[in-house]
Every structure is written in C-alpha cells, then in structure tokens.
Amino acid sequence: MCGICGFFYKNTGKPINPVILDRMVDKMVHRGPDEKGVYIMQPGALGHRRLTIIDLVGGQQPMELPNEKEVLVYNGEIYNYLEIKKNYLSDIQFTSSSDTEVLLHFLHRKGTDAIPLLNGMFAFVYWDIENQKVIFARDPVGQKPLFYYFGSDSFIFSSELSSLACHPDLPKNIDVDSLAYYLLFEGYPHPHTPLKGVNKLSPGYFMVLNLRNWTLKKEKYWENLPNPYVFKPMDENKYLETFEEKLIQSMERHLRADVEVGIFLSGGLDSPTLVKAALSTKKSQSIKSFTIKHELDSFDEAGHAKEVARYFGIEHHERLLSQSDFLADIDPLLKNNDEPIADPGFLAIHQVAKFSSDFVKVVISGNGGDEFFAGYHPFQALGAYRVAHKLIPNYLAKFISDLSDLPRASFDYMNIPFRIQRFLRGIPYPPSEVLMHWIGSFNNHEIRAVLNKDILPNALVKVNGNKYPSLYNSLHETNGELMQKDLFLTILNTFQQFYLPICICNHSDKASMRVSQELRSPFLDVEMMRFANQMPSQMKYFKGKTKYILRKYHERNSPMGVSKRPKQGFTVPIAHWLTTALKPWANDILDPLQIEKDGFFDAREVRRLWREHQERKINHGKKLWTIIVFQHWLHSVWSEWNSIKIH
C-alpha cells in the first residue's frame, strides 16, 4: 500500500525539475511513511511512497528490471502474486519476495494482457522506456485511486489530487459541470474530479500513453454484470458450499502479509462472516477485531460486535467515542481531503481506522458485501416500486414524489418516516435512475434550485432527444439492457458500478491511508465478485431477507441471532449534529455572504435548507452536509493549492 506520482513531458529535451517531484511525493507521506523513492530520466519522472506490508526489506520502488529499460511504480496489493509467480514466471530468478517484482516481470512478459489476470486492489504505472510507452491501470472496482492530467505538453499523475496540484502545469479551475455530479452522487464519479481537465481513471480500465506521438488510449478490461440465472431450490446447498469455498480462498489471499492483520467488526453480517472465514484459514494465530461504540443508541452496534468476538474467541478491542471525539477530527480531516466526499460513512471509517492503526498495519473490511449480496434497504422496496411505477400515472407520481418534502421530526438512523419519504422520491423515475433518487443528496431539479442561477451545467441539459438530463446518462448506459430485463439486477448493478467506487472504496482508501493503514476487502476479490454475480438473485434476496446466502452461512457454528441481524450502516448522526454541536461551525461555512461571493450555490436556497433543518421541519442533513463539505474544501484544500509556488 503506497502512493504513486510522476509526470512526462512531450518535449523530450525539457529538463526535469526534481523539486517538483519531491513536492508531489512528500505530499503523500501518510500513504507511505516507511520509504520514499524517485526515478528521473527524460522525458519523465516517477515517485513513490511506501507502506511496507509484504517483504519488509526488499521491494523498494520505483523498481527497474535488470535491463534498465522498464520501471514500475505501484500502489496496492496483487493478492494472487504467488500463483502468477508459479504459473507464469517460474523460470525467473527473483531478487525479492515482493508482489511488486512479480508484477513488473509479469508486465514485461505479457504487457497489457497481464492486467485481466491480476486479482487485487491496485493502481500502477509501467514505463517501457525502450518502446516509449507508459501503461496505467486501475483495479476492477476502484479500490485504489489514480488521478491524471493530459495536456498539450505534459502528462501528470498521482494517487491524490493534492499531490497532483504540486505540479505547476496542472490547471486548478473548478469544474462546474462536475459539481452537478458531485451533488447527485455525494462524490465525484469517474472520470470526473473537482478540477476542469483533470480526470480519474475509471475502475477496470487501463490506458497507454504513447510518448512518440503524444496520444492516450483507454481500454476496458473488466466486465462483471450480474446475471439473471434461474434458481432451482435443490441447488441452494451447492451455492452455499461454493460460497464458503470461495470466501475462504479469498481470505487466504487477503491475509497474506508480513505484518499483523486485524478485522473491522460490526454487529451486522459482513464482518462476522469474515471473522468466521478467517478462523478457517488462520486458526493457529490470534486475530484482533476492532469496533467503535456510539453514544447514540440508533447508531450503535458495539454490543453485537462484542458478542460475535466472544463467540469466536478473538481478541476484541472497543473504543467508546463521544460526540466531542468525533467532532474534534472533522475539521482537520476535511482539511486534508484532496477531493470532496460527502458520504458521512467516511467519518466513521476514519475513526475505526485511526483506532485500529495503533494495533495493526493491515485491516480487513466488509466492503462489497452489501453491493454484491444485496444488503441495502432499497432492495426491500423494489416490489412496491415495481407496482407504483407501473400503475400510477406520471403526473400523479410526480405529485406523490413532492410529498417527500413534507416535514418529519426524527433524525434517528433510517427511521420509518425517512424510508417512506425516500421511497416516494423515486416513484416517477425509471429503474436506471431510481436508486440515486433514493440515496443521492440531490436530484436534477434540486441541483438546479441550489446552484447559482448564473450557472447552467451541461449535466442538467437534456440532449439527443432524451427525457432525462445528461447527468443520468452514465446510469442509463451502464445498466443498458439490465433495466429492461430485471429491476433487482439493475439496482444491484447501480450499487456496484456507482456507489461502491464513488463512496465506499473512495472513503475507505482515504480514511485508512490518512492514518497509514492498509484496508483490504475480501468480498472484492476478483473470484468472489465473479461468483456473486453468477448466483441467482434468490441467493441474495429471498422472501424479504437481504444477503440470504450470508444468513444461511451463519445458521451453523455462529452466534445465535447473527443470521437474523438487520442492516445497520456504519455512519454518524450528521443530521442531528448539524442542529447541535456542529451548528456554529456549519453556520459559518454556510455564511450567505460568502456563498454568494463564491458564486457556486444560491445563497437564499441554502439558507432555506438550513432554516428548515434547524427548525427540524425537514431533515436536509444530506443536502446540507454535501454543500458544507464542498465549501470547506473550497476554502481550505483548493485555496492552498492556489498558493503553491514552484519554479
């Protein structure tokens, strides 16, 4: 687990300024405090920060082949590196036991054909000096980030935008069109970033920069759509056996490390599943688990986590965090965030990562369990949506949707009024869009209302005769024929293709890397994801039960009650805090005069949302927090970038 960065110039004679590279590398010291490495050869430069996990002595980067014609910088883990070494590279004399050296030789031997054979979380840059080409790649679901700028004279890349901003060639203008996407998704979906002309490589893609003719080509190497396989009841045990086999194999790969590995433990289904699987692979060694205890009961699940730990006999660590503990970290955490991300789960993940990093360098997380095995609440609403969307005329559906703005008082976690109102929001909209109307901060109409009236992002414009604005194009294109065939699979795919990389993987990477910890997700193992999307829908959601196969897995040799546990998101009570402890801080950030001066949001509309929320008429917590995070980023992170002077 590391941070990578670098740049290339079109003009092969342009001098490389090592100060620029050093600034880019050092900006990511939290990603790799153990080692620093640089490589400079015109017309390019590569930088690396290392967090040592595998081969603590060897594996330094940037890493060159003995021929000195190929060099690699790489962030992440290749979990199947031992299998690759055995099956494809058995004739090579390795000088280290690192997965980095395996990846370097594998790319030398197979080029881009090696990328689909990798099982891991990664972002890497492989420079073939002799052939004057550079290969960039990102893992299938975007567990590791890769930002880049491709200009007329320079190409710049990095694991973080703040590192990228250290290069003087990087444009730093705010992309208003991308802001509309942020307001919908609560994060910047690939390829968008806050900066105009700056992109993030999409998950499951690689690209090749040709230094001879200065061209950049992208190619998709990963496709894993959920399939509508026919369910036969007599096959249930077969699927359960295969699930257990795949899970244990994934855990074996994810536990490969030369440092101690721990597990985030909640009271839900995902993390107890991982604990049970880990004990099947690592019985002779102790396993540490970590849980954060909330003061608010509706957000707390520490008691259930403790019960699971006691049953499996693992060393459990719990930390009670008061409201003041959480709040003390919010401002500095946001100040160090390279791009706005409004999913409040980011704050919770940061706290458990910060706590567990005192004990372990690597931690296992349940990311992907909900997205691949149907764990979220919207799956329970699909039957009602299917009937309502089909039978209710569109004009009446829109009227009903407006009822979602009616007042409600409770700010508790996922209470019934909140679920009803969120459900009503989605009734008028097609299957490809409905999930984002349910879980997104704003829809297109609300985005138009909250943005400065002088701004008209292209994302809000209807094009090519579509009934919907281009903001939703990616949702329709990604779901394709799925939305015509199967509503359940459309929602499942939307979670996998959007919410997972934009929010879950994004905030997990940022939160763990901020405290120099590696976070691994066995449910996002390549073989595990393929198996999950080849299972019948009934093995995921059956008779009103989410994560059906995980529940069956816990019916034997697990704590009583785990198989019946409802979904509990790992998050924080932002809506409540905005009316209490965070109120003065947030009120300053949302100062109408400053909002108007910045020119991105409509000050009157923002003040209306704030007033109604403070009066507890309507819970605008998601909307307000999304705006607050952007405004905070604008006046801390972005303003700092614009003060950087490098010559």
Element (H, E) at 319: strand 315-320
Residue 427 tokens, joined? 């009734």
Q: Which pLDDT band holds residue 507 (cuts at 50, 70, 90)?
A: very high
Q: Are strands 133-138 and 120-128 parallel, antiparallel or unpaired?
A: antiparallel
**299 pLDDT higher than 70:** no
Answer whether residue 495 is part of any domain: no
- As to burial, measured by CB atoms within 10 angstroms (0-12 exposed, 13-18 middle, 19+ buried), residue 464 is exposed
Q: Which pLDDT band holds residue 542 (cuts at 50, 70, 90)?
A: very high
**17 pLDDT higher than 90:** yes
DSSP-derived secondary structure for 184-241: HHSS--TT--SBTTEEEPPTTEEEEEETTTTEEEEEE--------PPP-GGGHHHHHH
Residue with tokens 């910045």: 598
Element (H, E) at 133: strand 133-138
pLDDT in the model for residue 297: 59
Answer whether residue 327 is part of any domain: no
How many C-beta atoms surround the C-beta of residue 96 within 10 A? 15
**472 pLDDT higher than 60:** yes
**303 pLDDT higher than 80:** no
pLDDT in the model for residue 50: 87
Residue 452 tokens, joined? 């400065």
Domain residues for 215? 2-220
Calculate mean pLDDT across residues 12-18.
95
pLDDT in the model for residue 296: 61
CB-based contacts of 31, cutoff 8 Å, min separation 6: 1, 2, 3, 49, 51, 75, 159, 160, 513, 516
CB-based contacts of 353, cutoff 8 Å, min separation 6: 363, 511, 512, 514, 515, 517, 519
Return the closest-CA partner of residue 453 out of 595, 589, 621: 595
pLDDT in the model for residue 76: 95
**478 pLDDT higher than 70:** yes
Answer whether residue 129 is part of any domain: yes
pLDDT in the model for residue 441: 92
Return the closest-CA partner of residue 616 out of 627, 624, 628, 626: 624
Q: Count the residues in the chain.
A: 647
Can you count the helices (H) and strands (E) in the chain?
28, 17
Task: Evaluate the omega torsion of the peptide bond into residue 62 and state whether it is cis, within 30 degrees of 0.
Answer: yes
Give the domain CATH number at 113.
3.60.20.10
pLDDT in the model for residue 461: 93
Residue 399 tokens, joined? 């009227």
DSSP letter for 298, please.
Answer: G
Answer whether residue 117 is part of any domain: yes
Answer whether residue 408 is part of any domain: no
pLDDT in the model for residue 390: 79
Q: Which pLDDT band holds residue 321 (cuts at 50, 70, 90)?
A: confident
DSSP-based three-state secondary structure for 148: strand
Residue 521 tokens, joined? 């997700």
How many C-beta atoms surround the C-beta of residue 319 within 10 A? 16
- State pLDDT tens for residues 580-610: 999 999 999 999 999 999 999 999 999 999 9
pLDDT in the model for residue 120: 97
**414 pLDDT higher than 80:** no
Q: Report helix, strand and coil shares of the chain as percent, to nearest 5.
A: 45, 15, 35
Contact 471, 432 (CB under 8 A): no
Of the chain, the percentage scoring pLDDT greater than 70 comes to: 92
pLDDT in the model for residue 220: 98
Answer whether residue 429 is part of any domain: no
pLDDT in the model for residue 286: 76
Q: Please, which residues bridge with residue 315 across strands?
A: 288
pLDDT in the model for residue 154: 98
What is the C-alpha end-to-end distance of the chain, expressed in Å?
31
Least confident of 80-84, 440-444, 484-488: 484-488
Residue 483 tokens, joined? 């939305």
Residue 251 tokens, joined? 């855990």
**230 pLDDT higher than 70:** yes
Contact 375, 546 (CB under 8 A): yes
pLDDT in the model for residue 137: 98
Cα(96)–Cα(411) distance, rounded to whole angstroms? 54
Q: Nearest 10 degrees: CA dihedral of 631, 636, 642, 647?
A: -160
CB-based contacts of 500, cutoff 8 Å, min separation 6: 141, 142, 367, 368, 371
pLDDT in the model for residue 58: 74
Of the chain, the percentage scoring pLDDT greater than 90 comes to: 72
Residue 409 tokens, joined? 């008082």
Cα(348)–Cα(393) distance, rounded to whole angstroms? 41
Give the chain's domain count.
Answer: 1
Q: Please, which residues bridge with residue 147 across strands?
A: 158, 200
Answer whether residue 200 is part of any domain: yes
**13 pLDDT higher than 80:** yes
Q: Which pLDDT band holds residue 242 (cuts at 50, 70, 90)?
A: very high
Q: How far is CA 391 from the centre of its chain?
A: 36
Residue with tokens 């604008």: 634
DSSP-derived secondary structure for 455-511: ---GGGSB-TT-SSBGGGHHHHHHHTTHHHH-HHHHHHHHIIIIIIIIIIIHHHHHH
Q: How high does pLDDT run on average in the chain?
A: 91
Cα(552)–Cα(526) distance, rounded to whole angstroms? 22
- State pLDDT tens for residues 29-51: 999 998 899 999 999 999 999 88
pLDDT in the model for residue 148: 98
- State pLDDT tens for residues 136-192: 999 999 999 999 999 999 999 999 999 999 999 999 999 999 999 999 999 999 999
pLDDT in the model for residue 228: 79
Residue 396 tokens, joined? 């009446």
pLDDT in the model for residue 2: 87
pLDDT in the model for residue 399: 67
How many C-beta atoms surround the C-beta of residue 599 within 10 A? 13
Answer whether residue 622 is part of any domain: no
Calculate mean pLDDT across residues 92-102.
93
Q: Which pLDDT band holds residue 77 (cuts at 50, 70, 90)?
A: very high
What are the CA-CA distances from residue 562 to residues 282, 466, 554, 586 (Å)?
A: 22, 46, 7, 38
pLDDT in the model for residue 488: 94
**566 pLDDT higher than 80:** no
Q: Which residue has the higher pLDDT, 268 or 405?
A: 268
pLDDT in the model for residue 54: 74
Q: Which residue has the higher pLDDT, 397 or 61?
A: 61
pLDDT in the model for residue 258: 86
Cα(203)–Cα(220) distance, rounded to whole angstroms? 9
pLDDT in the model for residue 1: 63
Calculate mean pLDDT across residues 8-35.
95
Calculate mean pLDDT across residues 290-307.
74
The amino acid occupying position 510 is K
Q: Please, which residues bridge with residue 486 across strands?
A: none
Return the closest-CA partner of residue 101 out of 119, 121, 126: 126
Q: Are strands 147-150 and 198-200 parallel, antiparallel or unpaired?
A: antiparallel
pLDDT in the model for residue 412: 57
pLDDT in the model for residue 327: 85
Element (H, E) at 7: strand 2-9
Contact 194, 188 (CB under 8 A): yes
pLDDT in the model for residue 175: 97
Residue 524 tokens, joined? 């996002």
DSSP letter for 548, please.
Answer: H
Cα(561)–Cα(558) distance, rounded to whole angstroms? 8
Q: Which pLDDT band holds residue 11 (cuts at 50, 70, 90)?
A: very high
